[in-house]
Amino acid sequence: MLLLPLLLLAHLIPGADNKVVHKNAFQGPTSFHVIQISSFVNSTYAQNQGSGWLEDLQIHGWDSDSGTAIFLKPWSKGNFSDAELTEVVEAFRVYFIEFTPVVQDRVSEFELTYPFEIQAIGGCEMHSGETTVSFWRAALGGVNLMNFQNDSCVPAAEGGSRGQRFCAILSEYQGISNIVQKLLSNTCPRFLLGVLNAGKAELQRQVKPKAWLSSGPPPLPGHLLLVCHVSGFYPKPVQVMWMKDEQEHPGTHQGDMLPNADETWYLQVTLDVVAGEEANLNCRVKHSSLGSQDIVLHWGHLTSAMVITLAIILPTFILLICLTLWYLRRRSYQNIQ
Ligand SMILES: *[C@@H]1O[C@H](CO)[C@@H](O)[C@H](O)[C@H]1NC(C)=O
């Protein structure tokens, strides 16, 4: 019966953005969501994982053995009282306990075969001003089943008849539906505001990127792969472009945004060019921590390491030649005497 409360928690990342838009570059995250991943291994064994996120930053874990929440940050409790937190955690605990048999009982109805996974994501997002929008989605093995909109279950087209049946089952659990509604439309927005405020110092920090260039394996004979590495920045939005003179080079290819262990980000942006056409290319990095001082790295035969080497070797070499000449002249002078 308690299927809904947790379902509500589950859905997929809101606006998971690989895009480099400076949406909230200065305010930090604006949404909170809970993810549920339930792995049904065989008819007797299933495992539930739960986690809480501020966009791509995980702030809660779930210990499924003891049925308790794990607060990963000193500020992960937001401004909720212990009593209120206990109530919410209890709703999730019961939900996880109830969820498994509810699904196991419907394996044949849904024509499921072990092993399979159910994923759900639910939460809320702050839009301009004080409005918050809640969301809740569920998927089976990565295929969307349903999307909760305006208090009603909308089957996902790609889920086919399974999505319709899923919504039909949800409608049988009206009590749970109400709990979920409350969690989504009341609890979540209040929690979001509190936790954003409690974690402000960390969420709104600005960490400058470091950038460097290298060459990668050439994609084709006679080509070069120029690689611009940008690492250690926070927050996530960043703009990295290969530029020819002042224009962005159309062959720029952006890799995936990867997390560093210290909760900063790493990005690699490559450019495939025909050998000989790498003149006047530079990699430009824009990030909120840099203000208007973009990082610009020029591709060229004189990398900064080479410049330093030359700066040391060349004077040394000249000095050696001068000393040698001076010594030879002195010797010939002595010989004459
Ligand atoms: C179900 O999976 C668990 C974990 O892999 C295993 O220990 C157990 O023996 C399996 N049971 C059946 C009936 O296959």
Is the separation of the CB atoms in 231 and 266 below 8 Å? yes
Residue 151 has pLDDT above 70, yes or no: yes
Give me the chain's average pLDDT, please.
85
Taking the centre of ligand 1 as the mean of its atom positions, its distance from the CA of residue 101, in whole angstroms, is 16
Q: What is the atom index within ligand 1 of the atom nearest the CA of 43?
A: 13
Q: What residue owns the CA closest to ligand 1's atom 13?
A: 44
Closest CA to 52 of 84, 20, 118, 8: 8
Confidence class of residue 307 from pLDDT cuts 50, 70 and 90? low
Probe ligand 1: pick from 42, 113, 116, max atoms within 8 Å of CB?
42
Q: Is the pLDDT of residue 76 over 90?
A: yes
* pLDDT for residue 152: 84
The residue nearest atom 4 of ligand 1, judged by CA position, is 45
pTM to 2 decimal places: 0.73
Q: Is the pLDDT of residue 103 over 60?
A: yes
Least confident interval from 55-59, 67-71, 231-235, 332-336: 332-336
Question: Model confidence at 1, in pLDDT bands (50, 70, 90)?
Answer: very low
d(CA 205, CA 201): 6
pLDDT(326) > 80: no
Q: What is the pLDDT of residue 300?
A: 79
Give 18's pLDDT tier (boundaries 50, 70, 90).
Answer: very low
The Å distance, Cα 113 to ligand 1 centre, comes to: 15
With a cut of 70, say whether residue 181 has pLDDT above it.
yes
Among 80-89, 97-106, 244-253, top mean pLDDT goes to: 80-89
- Give the model's pLDDT for residue 336: 58
- State the average pLDDT over residues 59-76: 95
**Predicted local confidence at residue 305, as pLDDT:** 52
> Average pLDDT for residues 281-301, to the nearest whole number?
92
Residue 180 has pLDDT above 90, yes or no: no
Q: What is the mean pLDDT of residues 196-221?
A: 94
Give residue 44 CA to ligand 1 midpoint distance, Å: 7
CA distances from 227 to 133, 236, 278, 286 (A): 40, 20, 12, 16
Residue 219: what pLDDT? Answer: 87
Q: Give the number of other Cβ atoms within 10 Å of residue 289's Cβ.
A: 16
Please give the distance, rounded to the nearest whole angstrom, from the Cα atom of residue 70 to the centre of ligand 1.
27
* Of 49 and 319, more confident: 49
249: nearest Cα among 220, 216, 215, 226: 226
Q: Output the pLDDT for position 309.
A: 58
Q: Is the pLDDT of residue 35 over 60?
A: yes
pLDDT(192) > 90: yes
Mutation choice for ligand 1 from 39, 40, 43, 45, CB with most ligand atoms inside 8 A: 45
* pLDDT for 322: 66
Q: Are 70 and 85 in contact (CB under 8 A)?
A: no
Between 180 and 10, the more confident residue is 180
Residue with more model confidence, 131 or 265:
265
Q: For residues 270 and 256, what is the distance between their CA atoms, to the nearest angstrom? A: 11
> Is residue 194 pLDDT above 80, yes or no?
yes
Ligand 1 atom at shortest distance from the alpha carbon of 41: 2
pLDDT band at 261 (very low <50, low <70, confident <90, very high): very high
Identify whether the C-beta of residue 253 lies closer than 8 Å to the C-beta of residue 270.
yes
Q: What percent of the chain has pLDDT over 70?
A: 84
List, chain by chain if needed, residues with CB within 6 Å of any ligand 1 atom.
41-42, 44-45
Instruction: Give the pLDDT confidence score for residue 203 in this predicted structure.
Output: 92
Question: What was the pLDDT predicted at 258?
Answer: 96
The pLDDT assigned to 27 comes to 65
